[in-house]
Amino acid sequence: MFISADEIAQTIRMIQKEHLDIRTVTMGISLLDCAADDINVKCQKIYDKITTRAGKLVKTACGIENEYGIPIVNKRISVTPIGLIANTDVDGCVKIAETLEKAANAVGVNFIGGFSALVHKGYTQSEKTLIESIPYALHATTKVCSSVNVGTTKAGINMDAVRDMGILIKKAAELSADTGGSDCARLVVFANAPEDNPFMAGAFHGVGEPECVINVGVSGPGVVKCAIETVKDYDFTVLAETIKKTAFKITRMGQLVAKEASERLGVPFGIVDLSLAPTPAVGDSVARILEGMGLEHCGGPGTTAALALLNDAVKKGGVMASSHVGGLSGAFIPVSEDEGMIEAVRNGALCIEKLEAMTCVCSVGLDMIVVPGSTDAATISAIIADEAAIGMVNTKTTAVRIIPAPNKNVGDTVEFGGLLGSGPVMAVRQYDCSRFINRGGRIPAPLFSLKN
């Protein structure tokens, strides 16, 4: 036979028992041509453009799912950062967010990203207003995702924006206090944000992107976990090779789906994001991969090294499997969305500081961490600043998605439901940093010579 029964059985096992899936097919749509002086005209143009471009997205993705027998968990849309075209007041921005929600409902996607602003060097008036409107926009919607880029390696860190984001995250949490501050789960603060990321909540359609594009995010922590169990007694060379081969296979699925979706929709293929994205389901955890390598608990000594190996091997295996790679590409470590991470926090093995160290060697950053509602805005800003500094200095993407859950304390758990999972409240060090955060201005871009 052209392909062996064993190989066919292996693919089917990966999908059915090891949670292999395509995490998202995300259509990026440029809204740059939707600018208009009148807010109602602008909203109508945005609605029309999204529903025209993405009208067949969900149906096409479901067709591919059916034909190839591979689940495509999410169908999503990312749009041009709204800060570029808003030019309105806070109410107008909320109206745009509501329009995005309406368009998302009309085409049947589960999230729409791009209620965003890129302010790493400074605010335009439009972006300033958009950022002010974020808590209200999130509260008025359920599918709109927001992100703000506050730093880059080339521009440094906009500390005014960092300060403001701390305040706005607190505000978003207060507005959604009845659901544990869940609006914050749709808000990401980035450094070096990628323009082609298909994953939420940080997806937006960057200015260097074409009119419309298809980006695909793969997943498969369960497959990697099962693969490394077969090499328990081997050294790191074998371990890394095993992960590479597995990542190759996973990514080939993404490439196939991306190619098919692009052809069927008549939209150019952008990138495949080589990510190990966990879900709260047992058997779909990145933390369990690290433990499978030989650690008693994720978060203990050795975790950063294990994650570095994993992240690198996933990229090396995935790069050859896809013609274009981009987005966040790497292992995700969202605490509330990973069953093993949740347990590690509950057991006291994993703390925010260790997570911060882990973000130095993997994709994204402090993701889906729940902290006590009493955490002040300056402290949240300082956590963002720390993470942005790691991204800026190491020329990588970092992000913070933090939920200061109102009236919750260490030991409590906040249930978000669905893919967002449930977050145990993590302890934050209680030292005042307000004088540092309130200085304002910019942290200068780092030097890239004299490396030590």
Partner 1 sequence: MVKAVLSVIGCDRVGIIAAVSSYFAKVNVNILDISQTTMDDIFTMVMLVDVGAATVGFSELAAYFKELGAEMGLQMQLQHVDIFNSMHKI
Q: How far is the CB of 70 from partner 1 (least distance, A)?
A: 6
- Please, which residue, 6 or 178, has the CB nearer to partner 1? 6
Q: How far is the CB of 345 from partner 1 (least distance, A)?
A: 34
**Region 210-269 residues binding partner 1, contact defined as CB under 8 A:** 249, 252-253, 255-256
**Is residue 47 a contact point for partner 1 (CB under 8 A)?**
no
**Is residue 354 a contact point for partner 1 (CB under 8 A)?**
no
Specify whether the CB–CB gap between 6 and 26 falls below 8 A. no
**Is residue 33 a contact point for partner 1 (CB under 8 A)?**
no
- Please, which residue, 1 or 450, has the CB nearer to partner 1? 1
Residue span binding partner 1 (CB under 8 A) among the ranges 10-18, 169-177, 336-344, 373-381: 10-18
Q: Name 403's Cβ contacts closer than 8 Å, sequence gap at least 6.
A: 173, 180, 181, 182, 184, 185, 368, 369, 370, 371, 414, 423
Q: How many residues bind partner 1 (CB under 8 A)?
A: 24
Between helix 159-175 and helix 125-139 the angle, nearest 10°, is 20
**Is residue 2 a contact point for partner 1 (CB under 8 A)?**
yes
Strand partners, 367: 401
- Please, which residue, 61 or 85, has the CB nearer to partner 1? 61
**Is residue 69 a contact point for partner 1 (CB under 8 A)?**
yes
Q: How far is the CB of 58 from partner 1 (least distance, A)?
A: 15
Candidate residues 55, 68, 124, 445; the one interacting with partner 1 per rule CB under 8 A: 68
Candidate residues 43, 46, 50, 70; the one interacting with partner 1 per rule CB under 8 A: 70
**Is residue 66 a contact point for partner 1 (CB under 8 A)?**
yes
Alpha helices in 80-189 (DSSP H): 90-107, 125-139, 159-175
Alpha carbon distance 395, 310 (integer Å) = 19
- Please, which residue, 159 or 257, has the CB nearer to partner 1? 257
CA atoms within 13 A of residue 19's CA, in its CB half-sphere: 19
Alpha helices in 192-329 (DSSP H): 221-229, 236-265, 286-292, 303-321
- Please, which residue, 47 or 68, has the CB nearer to partner 1? 68
At 447, list the tokens. Answer: 């030097």
**Is residue 325 a contact point for partner 1 (CB under 8 A)?**
no
- Please, which residue, 258 or 370, has the CB nearer to partner 1? 258
Alpha helices in 5-89 (DSSP H): 5-16, 39-53, 57-68
Q: Tokens 């006291």 identify what position?
A: 348
- Please, which residue, 8 or 238, has the CB nearer to partner 1? 8
DSSP 183: G
SS3 431: coil
Residue span binding partner 1 (CB under 8 A) among the ranges 7-15, 32-40, 113-121, 159-167: 7-15
**Region 76-115 residues binding partner 1, contact defined as CB under 8 A:** none
Specify whether the CB–CB gap between 440 and 159 falls below 8 A. yes
**Region 406-445 residues binding partner 1, contact defined as CB under 8 A:** none
Residue span binding partner 1 (CB under 8 A) among the ranges 59-67, 184-192, 368-376, 395-403: 59-67
CA atoms within 13 A of residue 72's CA, in its CB half-sphere: 30
**Region 266-295 residues binding partner 1, contact defined as CB under 8 A:** none
Q: Name 449's Cβ contacts closer than 8 Å, sequence gap at least 6.
A: none
Contact residues for partner 1, defined by CB under 8 A: 1-12, 16, 63, 66-70, 249, 252-253, 255-256
